[in-house]
């Protein structure tokens, strides 16, 4: 069953872990072509919200809609349209870049996997090191590989958790450029980040989270003030 959507709507999302409230009444919509930043201090609920969007975590209240589809369709067909890149890069260090990509291509039943892997290696600029084990890569190389791994099956919604962490300036700029390209292809990108400097050039919108609540939904580059206010509120 194929499933696609051009927007994701979170309606009144709440999530608690025991008595601790991680998210409360979070409502927003992301559209194709947008790069939406989840900004906020530690513990604001960014990673929890990403996990809910990825279907790995059930909201305690509210619902996510993927285009016309409710989150109750969360199953193989929906997961085929989701890509995830976490802070931990979800690569097997004992395998080579080619083997990692081939494994995930097979896992997602990507058609013509060899060609797809070759394209991903080219996009990650890792063709020359394709047959080296990933444990021998630098953080930047792993990050590039992990992004292409998350994109192998051409997901509509790409969820990124702190993708700029640990990258030097050049690698971060390369990642930002790739994200802009992916957004221009019609992906919906939702990204939790602390790296304000890099986010500035990338985000088309920012959702400011504070203590699990949506403190601001700010378009363009006007988000810095709202973000600063959220941080000051914590202090």
Partner 1 sequence: MFARTAWTIFRKDVVVEVRSRELVATTMFFALSAVIVFAVALVREGRVVADAAAGILWIAIAFAGTLALGRTFERERYTDTLRALLLAPAPRAAVYVGKLLGVVAVLLLVELLLVPLVALLFDAALLRRPALLVGLLVAGTIGFASVGTLFAAMLVRARSRDVLLPVLLYPITIPVIIAGVRGTAAILQPVPDEPMATFWLMLLAAFDTVFVTVALWTFDPLMTD
Candidate ranges 23-31, 73-81, 115-123, 227-235; the one touching partner 1 (CB under 8 A) = 73-81
Contact flag: residue 103 with partner 1 (CB under 8 A): yes
> Which residue lies nearer to partner 1 by CB, 193 or 210?
193
Contact flag: residue 130 with partner 1 (CB under 8 A): no
DSSP state of 155: -
User: In this chain, which of 21, 63, 95, 231 binds partner 1, going by CB under 8 A?
Assistant: 95
Contact flag: residue 94 with partner 1 (CB under 8 A): yes
Residues in Cβ contact with 158 at an 8 Å cutoff, skipping those fewer than 6 apart: 83, 84, 85, 150, 151, 182, 187, 188, 189, 190
Provide, rounded to whole angstroms, the least separation between the CB of residue 79 and partner 1. 5
Paired with 35 in beta bridges are: 189
Contact flag: residue 86 with partner 1 (CB under 8 A): yes
Contact flag: residue 70 with partner 1 (CB under 8 A): no
The interaxial angle of helices 139-151 and 169-184, nearest 10 deg, is 10
User: In this chain, which of 18, 19, 20, 88 binds partner 1, going by CB under 8 A?
Assistant: 88
Cα–Cα dist 233/167, whole Å? 29
> Which residue lies nearer to partner 1 by CB, 94 or 229?
94
> Which residue lies nearer to partner 1 by CB, 107 or 233?
107
Task: Provide the terminal-to-terminal Cα distance of the chain, rounded to the nearest Å.
Answer: 49
143, 147, 121, 148: which is closest to 132 by C-alpha?
Answer: 121
Contact flag: residue 107 with partner 1 (CB under 8 A): yes
CA geometry: angle 156, 204, 81, nearest 5 deg: 5
Q: Which helix (H) or strand (E) holds 219?
A: strand 213-219
Candidate ranges 33-41, 103-111, 174-182, 202-210; the one touching partner 1 (CB under 8 A) = 103-111
**Residue numbers of the site for partner 1 (CB under 8 A)?**
51, 54-58, 76-77, 79-80, 82, 84, 86-95, 99, 103-104, 106-109, 133, 149, 153
């Amino acid at each position: 069953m194929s499933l696609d959507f051009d927007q994701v709507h979170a309606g009144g999302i709440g999530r608690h872990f025991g008595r601790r409230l991680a998210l409360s009444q979070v409502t927003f919509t992301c559209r194709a072509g947008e790069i939406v930043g989840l900004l906020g201090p530690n513990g604001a609920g960014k990673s929890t919200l990403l996990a809910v969007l990825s279907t790995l975590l059930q909201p305690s209240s509210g619902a996510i809609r993927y285009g016309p589809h409710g989150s109750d369709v969360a199953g193989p067909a929906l997961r085929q349209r989701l890509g995830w890149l976490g802070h931990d890069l979800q690569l097997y260090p004992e395998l080579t870049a080619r083997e990692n990509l081939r494994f995930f291509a097979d896992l997602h039943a990507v058609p013509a996997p060899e060609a797809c892997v070759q394209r991903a290696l080219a996009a990650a600029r890792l063709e020359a090191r394709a047959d080296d084990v990933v444990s021998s890569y630098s953080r930047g190389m792993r990050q590039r590989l992990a992004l292409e791994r998350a994109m192998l099956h051409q997901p509509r919604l790409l969820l990124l958790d702190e993708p700029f962490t640990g990258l030097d300036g050049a690698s971060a700029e390369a990642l930002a450029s790739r994200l802009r390209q992916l957004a221009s292809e019609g992906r919906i990108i939702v990204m939790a980040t602390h790296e304000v400097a890099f986010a500035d050039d990338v985000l088309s919108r920012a959702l400011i989270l504070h203590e699990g609540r949506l403190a601001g939904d700010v378009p363009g580059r006007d988000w810095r003030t709202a973000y600063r206010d959220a941080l000051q509120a914590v202090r």
